[in-house]
Amino acid sequence: MNRTRVIFIVIVVAALAIVGLAALARLLSDQPSSPLVVDQRGPINVRVLTALPVYDWVNEAAKQFNAENHELDGNPIQVEIISMDGLSALGKFDRDEFGALPSDVDLENLTPEQERALERFPTAWIPDSRYLPELANVAYKERLGRDVFLTDGEYRARPIAISLFAWGVYQSRAEVLKERFGDVDWQVIHDAAITRGGWPELGGLPEWGFFKLVVPNPRKNVGGLAAMVAAAGEYYDSVAIGTAEVTDPDFQQWLGELMSSTTDLSGGSAYTAEDFALFGYSAGDGGQLLESDLLNNMEGIQTRWGEPLDIFYPKYVTWFDFPFTTWIGPETSAAEKNAALEFQRYLLSPEVQAKAVAYGLRPANSSVSVDQPDSPFTRWADQGVVPIVSRTEAMRSPDRDVLLALLRWFDLNVAQ
């Protein structure tokens, strides 16, 4: 073989090598880049912060989900449910206690503290209402320059169950209030609360003492804030409440008179309806609580205290929609996010939604009805529970300033 032919062959081989390397580079560059996304090996752990009213149902569903050995791409999924009030979770997100990574972090060189924080970082959040992750987004928008919870797309927040605030009043007390005032509402409760002569003046028995209101502690249960917002809505006859309304001196005086009828609200637990069932008349005569909490405790209340609650629905309805909200960011892997979606779909399945009804929750899946023979909505129909709430005036979600103003007022006037 002469020298010219050898040189020619070397040039051809080199050219083919260059073309091959270039093709490989293009192939690699076309693959989607996703920091912290690696081939999953072993169990995919999904951690879900869950609001108190749906915790029992979601936790039961998670145990069943885990027992059924669900997998994603051949890897087993394990779901852990962490009970946390929506307001408490929002505070932790606001203070960044979960340890979100800075926007300029080097993902290849995390500190040991950052790596440990990511091991317990929540994959998803089921708050009481969708306005809570919206408020969390505000804080992270300022900190990271982006949203961390989405309102559209595959990972958007999706309601998994529904409940609303309703009045639950012991039947004997409810009959007296209806005879004296008519339909139960916040103004009726206020007037009963400030009646100087107590229940005897209202037409009740002397041993009942004074009217006692049941309201969740807003520092321990987001329902307490929702109740005060609902009270403001009826006071102003409006579904939209702003800072100007809740800081108005006349309203604050009215609210103070109303809240003065609560019994040791500052020391109350997060489980107000449960306390209502345990302590009966000493805890209160009635109050506005989440319908699902009331239904969960109706049987215990009747068994322990010998009379049921009567249920009334307010003019302005406060809905909780318990959205399943997946964290978007490099703190959780793509496998964890997708595994969370698998659990979300499981919660929305007809079988699991039917179990939600048994917990007094209204299903998010429209194919499931609450109007079933063994449903608490059917069982307690004679006490005023209805399968369809015809009132359509829904309270608008409060903003951060309204919540902070009400919490500050509570701390200064009630929690002392």
Tell the residue number behind the tokens 């051809």, with chain if given: 12
Domains 44-101+110-156+323-360 and 163-319+384-413 belong to one CATH topology:
yes
pLDDT on residue 114: 78
Distance CA(84)–CA(369), nearest Å, equals 28
Distance CA(338)–CA(333), nearest Å, equals 9
E runs forming strands in 26-99: 44-50, 71-72, 75-83
Q: Domain locations in the chain?
A: 44-101+110-156+323-360, 163-319+384-413
Cβ burial 350-364 (10 Å sphere, 16+ → b, else e): eebbbbbbebbbbbb
**Cβ contacts of 16 within 8 Å, gap of 6 or more:** none
CATH architecture of 163-319+384-413: 3-Layer(aba) Sandwich (3.40)
Pick from 149, 231, 141: nearest CA to 186: 231
Q: What 3-state DSSP class applies to 64?
A: helix
- Provide the residue-wise pLDDT of the chain in tens; the chain has 416 residues: 555 554 444 444 454 444 454 444 444 444 333 334 445 557 999 999 999 999 999 999 999 999 999 999 999 999 999 999 999 999 999 999 998 888 777 777 788 887 777 888 999 999 999 999 999 998 898 888 888 999 888 999 999 999 999 999 999 999 999 999 988 999 999 999 999 999 999 999 999 999 999 888 888 888 889 999 999 999 999 999 999 999 999 999 999 999 888 876 545 566 678 888 888 898 899 999 999 999 999 999 999 999 999 999 998 999 999 999 999 989 999 999 999 999 999 999 999 999 999 999 999 999 999 988 889 999 999 999 999 998 778 999 999 899 999 999 998 988 76
Q: Are 311 and 294 in contact (CB under 8 A)?
A: yes
Distance CA(370)–CA(295), nearest Å, equals 12
Q: Which CATH number fits domain 44-101+110-156+323-360: 3.40.640.10, 3.40.190.10, 3.40.630.30, 3.90.79.10?
A: 3.40.190.10
Residue 32 CA to its chain's centroid (Å): 33
Q: Return the amino acid letter for 380.
A: W
Tell the residue number behind the tokens 């169950």, with chain if given: 161
Tell the residue number behind the tokens 């919660």, with chain if given: 347
Pick from 247, 246, 279: nearest CA to 264: 279
Distance CA(329)–CA(358), nearest Å, equals 35
